[in-house]
C-alpha cells in the first residue's frame, strides 16, 4: 500500500508581510497567511467574510499589501474550510461570465 504524507504539488510559504484578501466588492475577507504556486490560505476576519467563502465558491480576489502599496488580482476556488476559520484556496482561471 502506498502512503501519501504530503499531497501538495507546491510548497506553501509563510507570509510575513501584511497581505489581505479583498473580494470584488471591496470587503476585506482576511489576512493571507500562506501562499504557494497552487494556492493560498486566508483566515476569515469576520463571520460575514466566512459566509462568503463556502467550499466550491469560485471568485476573483485582490491581495493587497498596504505597507508596500501593491495589489494583485487573481481567481480562486475555495477548496476547504477548517474549524479555526482558515480557508484553503486554489488558483484557477474564471471566465468573466462565471462571476
The x, y and z cell numbers of residue 1, run together, are: 500500500
Determine the pLDDT at residue 88: 96
Segment 38-65, tens digit of pLDDT:
899 999 999 999 999 999 999 999 999 8
Q: Is residue 97 classed exposed, middle or buried when 0-12, 13-18 and 19+ CB atoms within 10 A define those classes?
A: exposed
Q: How far is residue 95's CA from residue 19's CA, in Å, rounded to a whole number?
A: 25
The ranges assigned to domains in the chain are 27-94
Residue range 16-39, pLDDT digits in tens: 568 999 999 999 999 999 888 889
Tell me, what's the pLDDT at 12? 57
Amino acid at each position: 500500500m502506498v502512503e501519501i504524507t504530503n499531497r501538495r504539488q507546491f510548497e506553501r510559504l509563510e507570509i510575513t508581510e501584511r497581505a489581505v484578501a479583498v473580494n470584488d466588492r471591496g470587503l476585506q475577507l482576511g489576512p493571507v497567511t500562506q501562499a504557494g504556486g497552487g494556492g493560498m490560505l486566508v483566515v476569515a476576519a469576520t463571520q460575514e467574510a466566512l459566509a462568503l467563502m463556502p467550499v466550491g465558491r469560485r471568485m476573483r480576489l485582490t491581495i493587497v499589501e498596504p505597507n508596500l502599496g501593491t495589489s494583485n488580482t487573481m481567481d480562486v476556488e475555495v477548496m476547504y474550510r477548517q474549524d479555526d476559520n482558515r480557508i484553503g484556496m486554489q488558483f484557477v482561471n474564471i471566465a468573466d461570465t462565471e462571476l
